Structure 1
Amino acid sequence: MSRHVTGRDETADVVILGGGAAGLSLAHRLTRNGTATVVVVEPPDGPLRPPERTWCYWDRETGDLDAAVSASWPRLRVHGADGDEVTVDPAPFRYHMVRSARFERLVHSLLARSPGARVLRATADAVRSVPDGAEVRCTAPDGRALTLHARHVFDSRPLPVLPPARTLLLQHFRGWFVRTAAERFDPLVADLMDFRVPQPRHGLAFGYVLPLAPDRALVEYTQFSRAPLSTEAYEEALGHYGREVLRLGAFRVEASEQGVIPMTDARFPRRVGPAVFRIGTAGGATRPATGYTFAAVQRQSRAVAAALRHRTHPAGRRNGSHGEELLPAPHGRRALAMDAVLLRALDTGRIDGPAFFTGLFRRTPPERLLRFLDGATSLREELGIGLRTPVGPMLRTAAELPFLPRRVRPVPRTGEGHA
């Protein structure tokens, strides 16, 4: 392992482009046990740096990044369009919220204590393959040209164009961090989907409530549809949800967030050069049917660190581990196939979205459902879940998918609100 600077050139084992959830998680895993020397290239302050955002996930155990968790909930709730509610205890899982600024501060502090890590503020201009690795050409904030050489480059920057897809829905949302005059929230329960909101003509809509205290919460309005709304339309929908559905009474909005996440059956190439890989949403880590990304990023980061550690071990070199898959798929083939069917069924209107998701929570044991959403269930468990869904429309959709063309579509501005 090596990292050295010569004039305007720098060499490291790994260069990571982008300092969001995917890039910083991988940097942390690689430097935690001295697996590799790492340079993380983050854009300087300006339009290329994303605003603060929220990432959510569920897990059954504590981890070394727990200090980044802002809140967590032991129970989950879904409100049907008919007003009935389903509250579940998914033990041993808990639902966690991570705010990006807090996560970045934590990982930056950990990287600062590692002699093999460096965070570089610069704009990555070009990546090209070279003998024994790859080269990244960057521009520093003062205009200086920098060249980084690495054995492996992992790129988490947003794609300029999405790969061809049969279906593309957008999960688009706006959220308010609210403080109420009276105690209105149960800090033990997170509302994942509240369908007691007016439904759009195409797709579905729901509210989303993450309590931070009895009088504070993140309250969001979300749609799965083909096009985002205007900020004014989100504000109107949030006002209706907070006042007419949640009946919050007097409250004030302390902060807001807004984003768009592509939900697509596109095939995302993970390897784009002999030593260049895509990670995060750009590498297909976003689960197509839910928009969640953070947990997949953690799994993938651990797998990359283990693979690189094995490669640098003498036994690994003797056994030819250089031929192994360095960056495993973030989601299994069965999970992606089921997601493709669901997205198409939602997009065509063959299934009622609110009824579908509410039914999943009503009829599936909660721990099994979360494993299913993480792609960690067996084929037998998945068949049991599938038989509790609208079988006819889903089979019809599955039968037509192989004959549908894949088309290139414009890339929306993306966020990671539920990642």
Structure 2
Amino acid sequence: MSRPATLPEQRADVVILGGGAAGLCLAHQLTATATTTGSVIVVEPPEGPSRPPERTWCFWDEGSSDFEEAISASWSLLRVHGTDGGALTVDPGPLRYRMLRSTRFEQLVHARLAAHPGARVLRGTAGAVRDTADGAAVSCVAPDGRPLTLRARHVFDSRPLHALPPARTCLLQHFRGWFVRTAAERFDATVADLMDFRVPQPRHGLAFGYVLPLACDRALVEYTEFSRTPRTTAAYEASLGHYCRDVLRLGAFTVEAAEQGAIPMTDARFPRRIGPAVFRIGTAGGATRPATGYTFAAAQRQSRAIAAALAAGRPLVPPPHGRRALAMDAVLLRALDTGRIDGPDLFTGLFSRVPAERLLRFLDGATTLREEWAIGLRTPIGPMLRTAVELPLLPRHFPPTPRSAESAS
């Protein structure tokens, strides 16, 4: 049997591997400004099992978003429920909590790239990346099986890692969500339930419900855990059923769609440069915030910084999170993992004692040292200090690979 003919070699100034949140955010930034970096190729998997299912991403920001046309819903009020059933509603203004679905986001960015003369999306399976004298080369396979080589001055790789780097602590934020439609109006469409701790808590870690109302009779309802290992789909389904029926008391409802995933929450160090002209971005480059699992906002910030650096002739990928933020996250993860702090009490206490806008800026790494000190005083000081002292002495080890890297954030 003859081998398929090799496709002609293709060149670009920038090749981006992966058309998820990080890859498309970078492609958008590289082509949206008047100061262009040249030609851009985005390599996405062809239709089939290698393409990820539709996902939901959430973030908060002030004013309009770069992807306003793709926003499915947004909320100006957030609510947290304690384990005792008490509810706290906060206004993080001027910030708004926003939700977008990956399909609408991809359609929007694809349309923008199609209108740009130097950009295009190539469907294929990306393989090995090797250094060359003038940049890097990517070995790909076209949908029809023919091999293809892409050459570029810079390659940005957003593909999931096969294994996470060594870490002192590695938890997972794992979840399953239902898009539900109720027979009666059961939701307040103006308020998003960020954390609802009125669900049974696991022996290790914490669990909460998460409700994003899309209308008075429609919402995304999720069951989420922070723990070391994911659950089975059947276990998630049972917990979601209990949450919808017995906690939210939705009455009659139908499930119109579902999503499931696991996000690493780790203090591992993610190398951003893996070759003279090859860089990692997105979750593979450390964009996921270790203590929260949120990624989309950091991917946008990182993309803007990369585009500005390339325009200035400086090929680099700046860190998506500051050192102080990562140090605080490492302490929090270890304290949660050891059980020294009660997760539901910690988060409900922070929302009740810290202004919501400041707390969200803190979770985004945008607070000052003075603000962070004040927030730290509102956490369990003894357990946190004990954890901070022991953390530098702990060895790093390779954690198990999560079964999924899908993100709801």
Tell me whether 1:347 sits opposite 2:337 in the alignment. Answer: yes
More displaced stretch, 189-198 vs 61-70: 61-70
Note the alpha carbon deviations across 1:188-209, whole angstroms, 9 max, x for none. 1000000000000000000000
1:37-116 mapped onto 2 (5 Å cutoff)? 37-116=39-118
Question: C-alpha distance in 2, partners of 1:327/1:43?
Answer: 24
The Cα of 1:251 is off from its aligned counterpart by 0.4
Alpha-carbon distance between aligned partners in 1 of 2:19 and 2:92, rounded to the nearest angstrom: 32
Maintained 8 Å contact 1:58/1:295: yes
Structure 1 residue 119, shift from structure 2 partner: 0.5
How far apart, CA to CA, are the structure 2 residues paired with 1:378 and 1:338? 13
Instruction: Tell me the residue number matched to 2:404.
Output: 414
Aligned pair count?
402
CA distance in 2, matches of 1:385, 1:219: 29
CA contact under 8 A between 1:262 and 1:414: conserved in structure 2?
no
Residue 48 of structure 1 deviates from its aligned partner by: 1.7
* Deviation per residue, 1:228-257 (Å, 9 max, x gap): 111110000000000000000110000000
| Cα distance per residue 1:82-125 (max 9 Å; x no partner) | 11111100000000001000100110011011111010011111
Tell me which residue corresponds to 1:168: 170
State the partner residue of 1:317: none
Instruction: Give the SS at the match of 1:120.
Output: strand
Of residues 389-398 and 46-55 in structure 1, the stretch that sits farther from structure 2 once superposed is 46-55
What amino acid maps onto 1:10 in structure 2?
Answer: Q
Is 2:262–2:404's contact at 8 Å kept on the other side of the alignment? Answer: yes
Q: Which residues in structure 2 correspond to 1:311-390 (within 5 Å)?
A: 311=313, 322=314, 326-390=316-380
Partners of 1:88 and 1:366 within 8 A in 2:
yes
One-letter amino acid of the structure 2 residue matched with residue 377 of structure 1: T
User: Is 1:8 aligned to residue 4 of structure 2?
Assistant: no
- Report what 1:278 is aligned to: 280
TM-score for both structures, normalised by structure 2: 0.97
Shift of 1:142: 0.8
Paired AA for residue 73 in structure 1 = W
Distance 2:321 2:43 in 1: 26
Q: In 2, Cα distance between the equivalents of 1:172 and 1:64? A: 28
Aligned to 2:141: 139
- 8 Å Cα contact 1:55-1:416 kept in structure 2: no
In structure 1, what is the Cα distance between the partners aligned to 2:301 and 2:115? Answer: 23
Q: 2: distance between equivalents of 1:331 and 1:228?
A: 26
Structure 2 partner of 1:227: 229
Change (3 A) 1:40 1:407: same
**8 Å CA contact 1:164, 1:409 repeated in 2:** yes
Aligned: 1:213 with 2:203 = no
Residue of structure 1 equivalent to 2:24: 24
Equivalent AA in structure 1 for residue 23 of structure 2:
G
Measured after TM superposition, the shift of residue 44 of structure 1 is 1.0
Give me the whole-angstrom Cα distance separating, in 2, the residues matched to 1:142 and 1:241: 46
- 1-side partners of 2:319 and 2:156: how far apart? 14
Whole-angstrom distance in 1 between the partners of 2:187 and 2:21: 28
| Conserved 8 A contact 2:209-2:223 | yes
Is contact 2:7-2:147 (8 Å) kept? no
Give CA deviations for 1:197-227 in whole Å, capped at 9, x if unaligned: 0000000000000000000000000000011
Shift of 1:418: 3.0
Structure 1 partner of 2:290: 288
Q: CA deviation at 1:65?
A: 1.2
- Cα displacement (A) at 1:163: 0.5
d(CA) in 2 for partners of 1:19, 1:212: 26
Deviation of 1:171 after TM superposition, in Å, equals: 0.4
Answer whether contact 2:205 2:343 (CA < 8 A) is retained.
yes
Distance in 2 separating the partners of 1:277 and 1:49: 22
Larger displacement relative to structure 2 (408-417 or 368-377):
408-417
1-structure distance, mates of 2:234, 2:17: 34
CA contact 1:30–1:37 (8 Å) conserved in 2: no
Aligned residue number for residue 240 of structure 2:
238
Q: CA deviation at 1:7?
A: 5.9
Q: How far 1:344 sits from its partner (Å)?
A: 0.3
Q: Which amino acid aligns with 2:98?
A: H
Alpha-carbon shift at residue 383 of structure 1 (Å)? 0.3
Answer whether contact 1:53 1:415 (CA < 8 A) is retained.
no
* Aligned counterparts of 1:202 and 1:25: Cα–Cα separation in 2: 36
1:404 has 2:394 as partner: yes
- Match of 1:72, SS state, is strand
Give the drift of 1:47: 2.3
In structure 2, distance between residues paired with 1:143 and 1:212: 42
Show structure 1 runs of 5+ residues with no match: 1-5, 312-321
Deviation at 1:36, TM superposition (A): 2.7
Instruction: Report the Cα distance in structure 1 between the residues aligned to 2:69 and 2:224, rounded to whole angstroms.
Output: 28
Tell me the equivalent position of 1:185: 187
Cα distance per residue 1:7-66 (max 9 Å; x no partner): 611111100000000001100110112333100000112222110010000001213311
Superimposed CA distance per residue, residues 137-185 of structure 1 (whole angstroms, 9 cap, x where no aligned partner): 1010111111111010000000011100000100000000000011010
What is the deviation of 1:326?
1.6
The aligned residue for residue 3 of structure 2 is none
